[in-house]
Amino acid sequence: MLDLALFAFLVGFIAVGFRRPFVWVLAYLYVDILAPGKMGWTLMPALQPSLLTFVAAFAGWLLTDPKHGSRFTVRQGIMLALLLYCMWTTGRADFPEFAAEKWSWVWKALFFAIFLPLTITTRARLEGALLIMILTVSAIIISAGIKVVLGGGGYEAQLFFVNDNSGLYESSTLATVAICIIPLIVWFNKYGTIFPPEWRVKLFSAGLVFACLLMPVGTEARTGLICIAVLLVLALRDVKRRLTFIVAGVTLGLVALPFLPASYYERMSTLGSTDGDESASTRVAVWEWTIDYATENPTGGGFDAFRGNSFTYNMPIREQQGNTTAVEYQEVTDEARAYHSAVFEMLGEQGWPGLFMWLLLHGLGLWQMERLRRRWRKRQRNGEAEGREWIAPLATALEYAQIVYLVGSLFQGIAYQPFVLMIVALQCAFWSYCKRIDSHEARQRRALRQASAALPAGDAVAAG
């Protein structure tokens, strides 16, 4: 029944695209985030929804879209360079079979991120893409949130639609993305036009934000707790009553403490130290190995180069003996441990050139969004942004979403996460949109000056 429902919904989605081809772009966003092909048993796997919507989105834009306002930005150029570089490193990878498997989805994520800004040339399209992304990932978040409330969570507990530990269905990744989209949910709650803000929209938004905050608790992902702290610090930039905000946040945290399971406290207690936690201990060892590897192989070892690592370290084992705790150091040898950090993932797989391009891509995005935020906030204060009050808050929301991801990515190998690359693509489209507004206003001012200069002095004064 689920298979049939997913099939019917996707077919309806694609059918609408014959009238509005941009809907096929939205269909690919939906399919790539939710992965409905993994939920079905017969119809959905046979349909190959990812390939179908990918081809439809590109063909629809190429054949029918007017392409007015489409621009190729600097950041799209960086992603194109990174795509070509990854293709080169894949051809000379240390582990060709594993590299080819990862390349099969990385190239699609990068290619679509390069392509997506070309299709988004209006506010309606930008808002539609953001809305589809949020609602699709919300389907996973709400489902997991219900399971957490009714049955409790737990690290690596089965909270999701599918029995899969990759993509957004990996607990730490979902916890990071859930906190990442909160600023965008808040933006829709105030400036959305597809679903104008009214009591039902605000009620749903409040419930969705609560579900997002449940993800780090339900999945017991330590990274999620750090992301919440980062978002709260960022929010202090915009709240009017900061002291009230801080007191309210602390109060809510204290009220929630009695309802958290003991396993959550035990897992969060390892945040302050790597001792006694094999996962944290091996991360430090892997990072040290990656730096040494990149020193010897400056261009990286291709995808999944971590499979060549091997290291030995001493991990303290604590055993309670009456009122005392005995500590015994045990030698542990580990091999083929993942990077657990996007920074070291890029360094190990793509070397120093790949890491530089990745850092430049995100650093330039933060700079662009901060620049838009400040410029349009200044215009609002001067009364020059009438009808465009939504621009500065959206720039802020996209910037905060990216910062939360970057902090979370320090502890996860999610350098090529498709959802985040979609956020990057929307930033590119948003930057181009704002530049078109600036160009249009500059042309209007120039035309007005030329018209005034062509008039006699008396007429020019009257026209002014």
Strand partners, 315: 330
The CA distance from 356 to 251, in Å, is 42
In a domain, 322, yes or no: yes
- Give the pLDDT of residue 314: 67
pLDDT band at 284 (very low <50, low <70, confident <90, very high): confident
| The model's pTM | 0.88
Coil, strand, or helix at residue 310?
A: strand
Over residues 260-269, mean pLDDT: 55
Q: What is the largest CA-CA distance in the chain?
A: 100
- Give the pLDDT of residue 257: 57
What residue has token string 């956020």? 423
Minimum mean pLDDT range among 77-86, 318-327, 432-441: 318-327
In a domain, 287, yes or no: yes
Q: What is the DSSP string of 15-71?
A: HHHTTSTHHHHHHHHHHHHH-GGGT-SSHHHHH-HHHHHHHHHHHHHHHH---TT--
pLDDT of 342 over the 80 cut:
yes
Q: What is the pLDDT of residues 181-236, one digit of tens each?
A: 999 999 999 999 999 889 999 999 999 999 998 888 877 777 888 899 899 999 88
In a domain, 96, yes or no: no
The token pair that represents 19 in the structure block = 């009238």
The CA distance from 321 to 185, in Å, is 50
- CA distance readout (Å), 425 to 110, 226, 354, 398, 419: 10, 25, 19, 11, 10
How many domains would you assign to the chain? Answer: 1
In a domain, 351, yes or no: no
3-state DSSP of 337-380: CCCCCHHHHHHHHHHHHHHHHHHHHHHHHHHHHHHHHHHHHHHH
In a domain, 75, yes or no: no
pLDDT band at 422 (very low <50, low <70, confident <90, very high): very high
Instruction: Count other C-beta atoms under 10 Å from residue 119's C-beta.
Output: 22
The CA distance from 54 to 50, in Å, is 6
The CA distance from 402 to 181, in Å, is 9
- Give the pLDDT of residue 317: 67
In a domain, 327, yes or no: yes
- CA distance readout (Å), 419 to 296, 332, 386, 387: 33, 36, 32, 30
Sign of CA dihedral 80, 170, 224, 126: positive
| pLDDT above 70 as % of the chain | 83
Sign of CA dihedral 361, 365, 366, 367: positive
Instruction: Count other C-beta atoms under 10 Å from residue 448's C-beta.
Output: 12
pLDDT band at 327 (very low <50, low <70, confident <90, very high): low
- Top mean-pLDDT range of 15-19, 34-38, 355-359: 355-359
Coil, strand, or helix at residue 73?
A: coil
Look at residues 380, 381, 401, 378 and name the one whose alpha carbon lies nearest to residue 390: 380
pLDDT of 63 over the 80 cut:
yes
Over residues 317-342, mean pLDDT: 73
pLDDT band at 253 (very low <50, low <70, confident <90, very high): low
The CA distance from 272 to 173, in Å, is 21
| pLDDT above 90 as % of the chain | 48
Instruction: Count other C-beta atoms under 10 Å from residue 412's C-beta.
Output: 22
Over residues 333-356, mean pLDDT: 90
- Give the pLDDT of residue 250: 73
The CA distance from 89 to 72, in Å, is 25
Range of the domain at 282: 270-335
Minimum mean pLDDT range among 144-148, 290-294, 453-457: 453-457
The token pair that represents 61 in the structure block = 């834009």
Query: Cβ-count burial of 245 within 10 angstroms (0-12 exposed, 13-18 middle, 19+ buried)?
Result: middle
- Top mean-pLDDT range of 170-174, 216-220, 276-280, 297-301: 297-301
pLDDT band at 148 (very low <50, low <70, confident <90, very high): confident
Q: Which amino acid is at 163?
A: N
The CA distance from 105 to 113, in Å, is 12
pLDDT band at 383 (very low <50, low <70, confident <90, very high): confident
pLDDT band at 357 (very low <50, low <70, confident <90, very high): very high
The token pair that represents 73 in the structure block = 């930005």
Element (DSSP H or E) covering residue 279 = helix 278-296
Altogether, the residues listed in the chain come to a count of 464
pLDDT of 245 over the 80 cut:
no
The CA distance from 348 to 286, in Å, is 10
Over residues 13-17, mean pLDDT: 89
pLDDT of 439 over the 90 cut:
no
In a domain, 281, yes or no: yes
Minimum mean pLDDT range among 71-75, 374-378, 446-450: 446-450
What DSSP state is assigned to residue 318?
Answer: E
pLDDT band at 278 (very low <50, low <70, confident <90, very high): low
- Give the pLDDT of residue 219: 76
**Mean pLDDT rounded to a whole number for the chain:** 84
- Give the pLDDT of residue 158: 56
The CA distance from 368 to 402, in Å, is 12
Radius of gyration of the chain (CA): 25
Q: 208 near 195, Cβ under 8 Å?
A: no
In a domain, 116, yes or no: no
